[in-house]
Structures are given as C-alpha cells and as structure tokens.
Amino acid sequence: MTTTLQKDLASHLLACEENVQDTVKVTKEMAPDLTIEEAYLVQEQLVQMKLDKGLTIVGPKMGLTSKAKLTQMNVDEPIYGYVFSNMVHDNKSEVSMKELIHPKVEAEIAFELGEDIEGPGVPAADVMRATAAFIPAVEIIDSRYKNFEFTLPDVIADNASSSKVVFGERVPNQQDLELDLLGATITINDEVKAGGAGAAVLGHPANAIAMLVNMLAKKGEKLKKGQIILSGQLLKPS
C-alpha cells in the first residue's frame, strides 16, 4: 500500500470527522483489500495529521474488549486508537449533538499511569503497579461510517470510532481495588439502559491495558507516565 493512499484515506476520514459527515466504509471502494496492518498505518497518518494541527495525545485507548462488543460487531479481536486533547469534556458538561454524527456511549474505566510501561510481555500485575489512579469515564464513540457499518480494518483506520470522552473523579490507586467486580450502569433520561462490570473487559480491565502495551511494542511504542488510557467498554453501547 502506498503512503499516498494511506494519507488519502486518513484525510478522508479526518474530513468526515471535522465536517460531521458520514461516509461509506473505505473498504467498499477506496481500499477494498485493506489489511489490519495497513489499517494501522492509515491510523498512524490520521494521528500525525491531528498532531500537526497542534492537538496532543491524552492516551491510546483499547476498543472492542468485551465479548458483548466483539459479538455485536461480529469481529474477534480487540483494537486500539488514540484519544486527543480536544475530545475531552469536563464532568457534567454538555456535548452538542451538532458536533456528532450518530453517537453511542460507553462506560469505561480509565488508567492514569504513574510510570512508563513498555512491552512486550507485560502482565496485568505490572499495569496495576504502574497505575497512579483510576478514573470512571464515559466514552462517546461516533464512527464516521454510515450506520456503524464497517470491517475491522475500516474501524482501525477510523481511529476506533474515537470522538469524545467525559472523565469522572480520579480515584488514587489502592492495590486492593477489585476492578473486575466494579459495576457501571448507563442511564439515559432516568432510564437504565445497560449494566455491566469490569470483568466484562477481558476478565479484568488491567488485562486490556497489558494487551495494549504488548500491541504497541510491535511498533516500538510504549505507554507513558501521565497518559490516561481507556481500557474498554464494560457493556454494550447505548
């Protein structure tokens, strides 16, 4: 795949995000043979374009980490993307629907790192040791693809549908915190729409962060002190 095509796909997806405009999946016509490896190269171009615009990375994020989500999307492996500074909204702030195509919300546990973590071979226990705090988070995903219809390479190229994040109150890391037993509910207009627990994220959210570190190691990247990392959805998106 040429660098020109990678950049064309990334520019197209970025324009859709900025113009709040949906598109058919890129594998439909623009890149029918896009592989997972190539899709991450497109994502890298997209990330670079955002950095060139002066945005900064809050942290990478894991997506498609729950069995429910994998089944819903009909795929079999988790993916990663990046959360940027302009995606973060204060707790209790309002987010305008005009800035979004067709948002869905996810309840997640975010990890604020107190030290760098570098793979490969990092176990979940190392992730827990390196974490300074946990932060409850609502991720608002907003695929650029019409009706959320995409293949795995499409969604990877589209930065794992990243759009907005609202962080709650930071909870300093206590080693006895049982994140797998921690519950969450999504309530929309006083109606409980979904519920779940940390165990839905690959058995324990730290497993997802460990998997992320080990995936990033393949391209020579590490997780850095101060980054805030979404570990994945606890339940089906609403």
**106 sits near Mg ion (criterion: CB under 5 A):** yes
Positions of E strands within the chain: 57-63, 79-84, 88-89, 104-113, 131-141, 164-167, 171-172, 183-188, 191-197, 228-233
Please give the torsion angle defined by the CA atoms of residues 15, 81, 160 and 235, in that order, rounded to the nearest 10 degrees. -140
Window 70 to 99, contacts with ligand 0L1 (CB under 6 A): 73
Enumerate residues 116-155 that contact Mg ion by CB under 5 A: 139
Contact predicate 8/30, CB 8 Å: yes
d(CA 194, CA 88): 23
Q: Does 212 bind ligand 0L1 (CB under 6 A)?
A: no
| Binder of residue 64, out of ligand 0L1, Mg ion, none (CB less than 5 to 8 A by kind) | ligand 0L1
Beta carbon of residue 223, minimum distance to Mg ion (angstroms, whole number): 17
β-pairing verdict for 131-141 and 164-167: antiparallel
160 lies in the binding site for ligand 0L1 (CB under 6 A)? yes
Alpha-carbon distance of 225 to 210, in angstroms, equals: 15
If one asks whether residue 139 binds ligand 0L1 (CB under 6 A), the answer comes out as: yes
Q: Is 202 left (phi over 0), alpha (psi -120 to 50) or beta?
A: left
Measured from the CB atom, the residue of 6 and 207 that comes closer to Mg ion is 207
Please work out, in degrees rounded to the nearest 5, the angle formed at the alpha carbon of residue 140 by the alpha carbons of 55 and 237.
Answer: 150
Count of residues engaged in binding ligand 0L1, rule: CB under 6 A:
14
**Is 155 among the residues that bind ligand 0L1 (CB under 6 A)?**
yes
Among 27-35, 112-120, 154-162, 181-189, the segment contacting ligand 0L1 (CB under 6 A): 154-162
Which lies closer to ligand 0L1 via its Cβ, residue 101 or residue 126? Answer: 101
Q: Which residues contact ligand 0L1 by CB under 6 A?
A: 63-64, 69, 73, 106, 139, 141, 143, 148, 155, 160-161, 232-233
